[in-house]
């Protein structure tokens, strides 16, 4: 594998993200491509979150306990992590357009079967397959980085991430509204149709991209391990975002129980509440511009501190829906901003291996989410909402600690 950074360029300098000024301007064809990528990312990643506000209904439908229903979230995220580890690296080996649209066909089939699932175990198996195949979103984000001019990479990746993040945040509301109107199975049937449509759009509109890597799949996976061992910036960004995402997952996994039990909200009420989180998507382009301007380190520290403050507010303001909503917006802003800044840094480390870099990064992130979702059910049962917010606060403090430990090596010039 070629040297991941130009001679004389440190990974910390790349992480700082300073680029020389270049002429502005974006071709119309690239604008449309970025729009398509943003929609496809949002539509595919939304599949990971449809179950979260429906856990109560799913538990009743399949006659399982609250703890067992929470396993649906865990299995979906574990499936996604498996896809990130073993499927995502194919983005550096196979032609990207074909890989993306064919994978979405698998997602569509899995969603259709889930919509008609006769029992809990079939639904659980399809949830895992949906998780694995929805990794296509992370094939498309590095593609956006490949297509973007270097001086606009943070901005354009941020725009694609805005679509992805809107998919994450709107998924809960769309799911809740659909369940209230037509039952919980409807959202899976609707999404199956959306995935089929998205696959056709990608097949028609995306440019072809054949990666430079020509060795076999085994060599590809071995190079992923090498990247993980030789890129300390990648590991730090992965661990810090995994901690932030763990806090995000804990909050959004438990909040539906809190709103239903303490505040007596209906499914439609929970759906409206979930809409407030969509405001956090505006963090993506803002964070991208800050990274392009060279303010990434300060912005990342601010994002982790904002996340910690949001969890304190969520814990202290549990009796107020307004304060819970404010905490949700702040948390989402922090997590999504931190995500864009981190991805901007890691994509600068090895331009010819961005899918593999993203594999290391996103596998770590979603393993953090899977661990958090598994723990959230037990913590909520034992200590309620207060226990969940304390756990989430600790996750954000871990991310802040990782960021602060970068100061010493940066000052020493390493």
User: Comparing C-alpha atoms, which of 81, 74, 48, 414 is closest to residue 236?
Assistant: 414
pLDDT of residue 89: 85
Distances (CA, A) of 300 to 1, 99, 102, 232, 282: 30, 33, 36, 17, 16
* Confidence category of residue 3, pLDDT binned at 50, 70, 90: very low
Reference 153, options 354, 356, 9, 344; nearest CA is 344
Residue 14 lies in a domain: no
In the predicted model, is pLDDT for residue 396 greater than 90?
yes
Q: For the chain, what is the domain count?
A: 1
Range of lowest pLDDT (310-324, 351-365, 382-396):
351-365
In a domain, residue 11? The reply is no
* Domain membership flag for residue 1: no
Highest mean pLDDT out of 152-166, 228-242, 347-361, 400-414: 228-242
Coil/strand/helix, residue 8: coil
Q: Are 19 and 102 in contact (CB under 8 A)?
A: no
- The reply to whether 414 falls in a domain is no
- Max mean pLDDT among 27-41, 116-130, 167-181, 350-364 falls in 116-130
pLDDT of the residue at 296:
82
Q: Is residue 23 part of a domain?
A: no
Inform me whether the pLDDT recorded for 277 exceeds 60.
Answer: yes
Three-state SS at 5? coil
Q: Which pairs from 120-126 meet CB under 8 Å and 24+ separation?
A: 120/62, 120/63, 120/64, 120/68, 123/58, 123/62, 123/72, 124/71, 124/72, 124/75
Q: CATH number of the domain that 252 lies in?
A: 1.20.1250.20
CB 80 within 8 A of CB 48: yes
More confident residue, 373 or 203: 203
User: Tens digits of per-residue pLDDT, 60-72?
Assistant: 999 988 778 888 9
**Alpha helix (H) residue ranges in 206-320:** 217-230, 232-261, 267-275, 283-292, 296-316
Look at residue 41 and tell me whether its pLDDT is greater than 60.
yes
pLDDT in tens, 220-243: 888 888 988 999 999 999 999 999
Q: How far is it, in rounded angstroms, from Cα 193 to Cα 89?
A: 27
| Residue 288, pLDDT score | 73
In the chain, the percentage of residues whose pLDDT exceeds 90 is 41
96 lies in some domain = yes
Query: Mean per-residue pLDDT for 233-258?
Result: 92
Q: 9: which DSSP letter?
A: -
Query: Does residue 10 surpass a pLDDT of 80?
Result: no
Tell whether 331 is covered by a domain: yes
User: What is each CA distance from 9 to 288, 295, 350, in whole angstroms?
Assistant: 21, 18, 12
C-alpha to C-alpha distances, 261 to 61, 198, 264, nearest whole angstrom: 19, 37, 5
Predicted local distance difference test score (pLDDT) of residue 221: 87
User: Domain range spanning residue 299?
Assistant: 28-406
CB 83 within 8 A of CB 111: no
The pLDDT of residue 202: 93
Q: pLDDT averaged over the chain?
A: 85
Residues 155-181 have a mean pLDDT of 85
Q: Minimum mean pLDDT among 22-26, 204-208, 268-272: which range?
A: 22-26
76, pLDDT greater than 70: yes
26 confidence band (pLDDT: 50, 70, 90) = low
pLDDT at 324: 95
pLDDT of residue 8: 41
Burial level of 37, CB count in 10 A (0-12/13-18/19+)?
Answer: buried
Residue whose C-alpha is closest to residue 46's, from 145, 137, 159, 141: 137
| pLDDT confidence of residue 281 | 67
Are the C-beta atoms of 79 and 131 separated by less than 8 Å? yes
The answer to whether 221 touches 110, Cβ cutoff 8 Å, is no
In the chain, % of residues over pLDDT 70: 90
pLDDT of 208 above 70 = yes
In a domain, residue 333? The reply is: yes
């Amino acid at each position: 594998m070629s040297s991941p950074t130009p001679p004389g360029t440190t990974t910390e300098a790349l992480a700082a993200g300073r680029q020389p000024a270049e002429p502005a301007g974006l071709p119309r064809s690239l604008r449309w491509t970025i729009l398509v990528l943003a929609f496809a990312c949002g539509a595919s990643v939304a599949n990971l979150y449809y179950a979260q506000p429906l856990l109560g209904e799913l538990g009743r439908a399949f006659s399982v306990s609250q703890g067992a229903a929470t396993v649906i979230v865990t299995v979906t995220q574990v499936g996604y992590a498996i896809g990130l580890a073993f499927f995502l690296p194919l983005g550096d080996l196979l032609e990207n357009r074909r890989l993306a649209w064919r994978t979405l066909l698998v997602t569509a089939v899995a969603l259709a079967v889930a919509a008609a699932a006769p029992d809990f175990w079939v639904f659980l198996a399809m949830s895992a397959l949906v998780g694995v195949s929805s990794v296509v979103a992370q094939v498309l984000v590095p593609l956006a980085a490949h297509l973007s001019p270097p001086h606009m990479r943070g901005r354009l990746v941020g725009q694609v991430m805005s679509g992805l993040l809107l998919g994450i945040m709107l998924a809960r509301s769309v799911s809740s509204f659909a369940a209230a109107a037509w039952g919980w199975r409807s959202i899976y049937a609707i999404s199956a149709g959306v995935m089929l449509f998205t696959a056709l759009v990608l097949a028609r509109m995306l440019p072809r991209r054949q990666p430079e890597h020509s060795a076999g799949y085994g060599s590809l996976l071995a190079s992923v391990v090498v990247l993980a061992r030789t890129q300390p910036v990648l590991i730090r960004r992965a661990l810090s975002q995994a901690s932030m995402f763990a806090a995000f997952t804990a909050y959004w996994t438990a909040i539906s129980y809190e709103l239903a039990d303490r505040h007596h909200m209906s499914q439609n009420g929970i759906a409206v509440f979930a809409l407030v989180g969509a405001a956090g998507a505006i963090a993506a382009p803002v964070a991208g511009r800050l990274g392009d301007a060279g303010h990434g380190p300060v912005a990342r520290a601010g994002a982790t501190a904002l996340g910690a403050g949001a969890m304190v507010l969520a814990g202290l303001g549990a009796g107020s829906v307004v304060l819970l909503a404010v905490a949700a917006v702040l948390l989402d802003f922090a997590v999504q901003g931190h995500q864009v800044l981190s991805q901007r840094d890691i994509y600068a480390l090895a331009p010819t291996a961005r899918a593999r870099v993203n594999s290391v990064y996103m596998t770590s992130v979603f393993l953090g989410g899977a661990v958090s979702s598994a723990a959230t059910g037990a913590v909520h049962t034992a200590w309620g909402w207060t226990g969940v917010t304390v756990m989430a606060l600790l996750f954000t403090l871990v991310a802040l600690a990782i960021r602060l430990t970068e100061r010493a090596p940066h000052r020493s010039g390493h």
